[in-house]
């Protein structure tokens, strides 16, 4: 009995057709498969047979077919599978003895984007520096960890404006490994939302509330095991922070990998690695004026000195000191004037 036939897949290394173990006595049946070329276009057909099978009425057999395809195989965009069933009883072919299934072909890929360790993590500023800006840099690393080359686009979103006030100015994206790689950019208008209420709950500035600049860098062929580095660099201003009534806020950029999803598909469970973000924390600090502290300390010192002086005066400290000083002074002046107190005559 021929129970299965199908065209051979170009780039296929092996196939496996087996019976599930839950089908009782059918487990001991011997299954043989043969492949043979069909036509002159490199197409092959595989036929699988089970001999000496008594297929009773109402019975059902389920086959599990597994195909291993080379990661470099090119199968087009559609795959047609055909299954035929026949027996030695010369049963005529009908629509029920042949089944065809056309499946879309997608090639599995594994691309990853991540935030680089070296970037501007933190900036602080004072009220007097609100009109100034500072250079900020975000870096991203993109890897092809799959087994197939593919064209990709690397997209970056950078917040550049909040309520018509500049946030990140003169932002540019560069690719040090290939300076000739060009990236296009377009402005994306901010969504109509109450940014103040949003940022009061979550002090994060990103493209969900800010006007953004979107960069798109097209890579015609992203090779297997290739690594790409991208740098976003511009002047991060401080003046817009006063709008949000917060002393600390996080400025977030986002990177994302995109490709033709009708041809390629990220490995299942790895979709999260196609997107990454980088955060720079801005914090406003208060500069303390030392003048009040100095003046207060001086006045306090003078008051303390006056208090000590008053206490000493009250206990007569200065009077005793003055009297002792006068007596000592008189004792030193007498010899200088030539006068000496006569001593009483001695008695004999």
| Predicted pLDDT at 1 | 46
Instruction: Match 């006007």 to its residue by tokens.
Output: 211
Contact 245, 101 (CB under 8 A): no
Contact 5, 43 (CB under 8 A): no
Instruction: Match 């059902």 to its residue by tokens.
Output: 60
Backbone angles phi, psi at 268, to 5 degrees: -55, 135
| Predicted pLDDT at 134 | 92
- The two most distant CA atoms of the chain are separated, in Å, by 178
Nearest CA-CA partner of 48 in 6, 3, 103, 109: 3
Contacts of 193 (CB under 8 A, 6+ apart): 208, 209
CA distance 270 to 21: 32
- Span 296-337, pLDDT tens digits: 777 877 787 778 877 766 766 656 666 666 666 666 665 555
Q: Is the dihedral of CA 257, 261, 267, 270 positive or negative?
A: positive
- Span 327-339, pLDDT tens digits: 666 666 655 555 5
CA distance 316 to 57: 131
> If DSSP codes are grouped into helix, strand and coil, which group holds residue 192?
coil
Stretches in the chain below the pLDDT threshold 50:
1-3, 5, 13-14, 347-348
| Predicted pLDDT at 326 | 66
| Predicted pLDDT at 2 | 45
Nearest CA-CA partner of 187 in 211, 167, 166: 211
Give the tokens for residue 130. Answer: 């609100």
* Domains by residue range for the chain, with CATH: 1-20+28-105 (2.60.40.1510), 109-285 (2.60.40.1530)
| Predicted pLDDT at 40 | 62
Contacts of 68 (CB under 8 A, 6+ apart): 12, 13, 14, 15
DSSP 86: B
pTM: 0.69
């Amino acid at each position: 009995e021929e129970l299965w036939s199908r065209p051979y897949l170009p780039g296929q290394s092996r196939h496996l057709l087996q019976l599930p173990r839950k089908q009782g006595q059918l487990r001991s049946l011997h299954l043989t498969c043969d492949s043979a070329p069909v036509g002159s276009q490199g197409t092959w057909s595989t036929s699988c047979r089970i001999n000496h099978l008594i297929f009773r009425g109402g019975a059902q057999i389920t086959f599990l077919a597994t195909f291993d395809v080379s990661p470099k195989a090119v199968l087009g965009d559609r795959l047609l599978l055909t299954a035929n069933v026949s027996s030695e009883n010369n049963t005529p072919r009908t629509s029920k003895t042949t089944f065809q299934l056309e499946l879309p072909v997608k090639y599995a890929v594994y691309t990853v984007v991540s935030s680089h360790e070296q970037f501007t993590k933190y900036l602080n500023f004072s009220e007097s520096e609100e009109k100034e800006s500072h250079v900020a840099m975000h870096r991203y690393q993109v890897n092809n960890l799959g087994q197939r080359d593919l064209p990709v686009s690397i997209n970056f979103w950078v917040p550049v404006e909040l309520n018509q006030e500049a946030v990140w100015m003169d932002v540019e994206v560069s690719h040090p490994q290939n300076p000739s790689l060009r990236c296009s950019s377009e402005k994306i208008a901010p969504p109509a939302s109450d940014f103040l209420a949003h940022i009061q709950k979550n002090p994060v500035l990103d493209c969900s509330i800010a006007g953004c600049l979107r960069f798109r860098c097209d890579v015609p062929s992203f090779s297997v095991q290739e690594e790409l580095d991208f740098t976003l660099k511009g002047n991060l201003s401080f003046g817009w922070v006063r709008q949000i009534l917060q002393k600390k806020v996080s400025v977030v950029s986002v990177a994302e990998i995109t490709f033709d999803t009708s041809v390629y598909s990220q490995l299942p469970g790895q979709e999260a690695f196609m997107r990454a973000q980088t955060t720079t924390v801005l914090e406003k600090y208060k500069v303390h004026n030392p003048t009040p502290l100095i003046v207060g300390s001086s006045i306090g010192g003078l008051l303390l000195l006056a208090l000590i002086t008053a206490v000493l005066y009250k206990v007569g400290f200065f009077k005793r000191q003055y009297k002792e000083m006068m007596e000592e002074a008189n004792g030193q002046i007498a010899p200088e004037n030539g006068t000496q107190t006569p001593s009483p005559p001695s008695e004999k």
